[in-house]
């Protein structure tokens, strides 16, 4: 059989096109790490989100090394949490679900762009090498305020990142002459130990307490405050550790002149 030269050229060109198309699609599917959301993340009953271990308190969790997990709940018309902070040089796995209707979770400038379907958990893992800010958007029309549904993902420099939390218990009022205590509980959300200093400033007094907190643990620090030294009146205090801070006011009332009828033994 004799094939005309021109026909051979057209046949060859058609073959090149077909191979080219297949290569393009293959690269698109495998090369840039694009993946379809599948059922890896599992499913969840939307009405039970508040009882779910992962989603009851959504947020960032350190799972070890440079790996983090972020749980996000989408609902009309916000994300919880809507401000997410992760460190640079990290590998972050997002778990996102919806409380009500179908939303999306799209991190602008990355390849995170997934539908969020009630009843399903969308899971995807991304590497963040450099610090930066990324907007989070809903790309699925979800009601009248769909356009306001947004959040912010901040990748902070690795050495500035921590998951420290502070909780302070202090009395509002104390009678002069009595010693009082301000209790600070510091918890470390990282899996690694944290050596740090908890500071209490009250009036012109300052107390420092060094603590070592085990990974994923917490420690309580008790500050004994001498009210005689403070004197009667309102005293603003601040407890700080790492980037966390809590402030309030302690009122020292004069035991003798107090309107509450103190026993006057001062």
Please report, as ranges, the residues that interact with ligand CUA according to CB under 6 A.
Answer: 77, 103, 138, 140-142, 146, 149
Name which of 134 and 161 has its Cβ closer to ligand CUA. 134
DSSP 21: H
In whole angstroms, the minimum distance from the beta carbon of 49 to ligand CUA comes to: 16
Which pair of structure tokens corresponds to residue 152? 């912010």
- The first and second tokens of residue 265, run together, are 């033994």
State which residue, 10 or 141, has the beta carbon closest to ligand CUA. 141
CB 155 → ligand CUA: shortest distance, Å? 23
State in angstroms the smallest separation of the CB of 121 from ligand CUA: 17
Cα 77 from Cα 26, distance rounded (Å): 36
CB of 55 to ligand CUA, least distance (A): 17
**Residue (146 or 203) nearer to ligand CUA, CB:** 146
Q: Which is nearer to ligand CUA, 88 or 98 (CB)?
A: 98
Beta carbon nearer to ligand CUA, 78 or 125: 78
Question: Least distance (Å) from ligand CUA to the CB of residue 92?
Answer: 21
């Amino acid at each position: 059989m004799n094939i005309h030269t021109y026909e051979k050229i057209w046949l060859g060109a058609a073959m090149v096109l077909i191979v080219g198309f297949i290569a393009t699609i293959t690269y698109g599917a495998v090369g840039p790490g694009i993946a379809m959301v599948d059922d890896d993340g599992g499913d969840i009953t939307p009405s039970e989100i508040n009882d779910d271990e992962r989603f009851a308190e959504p947020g960032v969790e350190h799972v070890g090394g440079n790996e983090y997990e972020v749980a996000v709940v989408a609902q009309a018309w916000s994300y919880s949490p809507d401000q997410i902070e992760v460190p640079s040089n990290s590998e972050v796995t997002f778990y996102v679900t919806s409380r009500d209707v179908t939303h999306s979770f799209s991190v602008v400038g990355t390849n995170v762009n997934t539908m969020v379907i009630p009843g399903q958990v969308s899971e995807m893992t991304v590497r963040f090498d450099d610090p930066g800010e990324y907007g989070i958007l809903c790309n699925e029309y979800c009601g009248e305020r769909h356009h306001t549904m947004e959040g912010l993902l901040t990748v902070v420099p690795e050495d500035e990142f921590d998951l420290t939390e502070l909780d302070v218990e202090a009395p509002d009022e104390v009678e002069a002459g009595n010693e009082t205590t301000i209790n600070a509980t510091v918890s470390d959300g990282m899996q690694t130990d944290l050596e740090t200093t908890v500071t209490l400033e009250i009036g012109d007094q300052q107390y420092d307490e060094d603590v070592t907190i085990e990974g994923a643990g917490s420690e309580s620090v008790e500050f004994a405050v001498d009210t005689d030294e403070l004197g009667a009146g309102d005293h603003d205090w601040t407890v700080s550790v790492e980037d966390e801070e809590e402030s309030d006011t302690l009122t020292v009332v004069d035991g003798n002149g107090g309107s509450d009828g103190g026993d006057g033994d001062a």
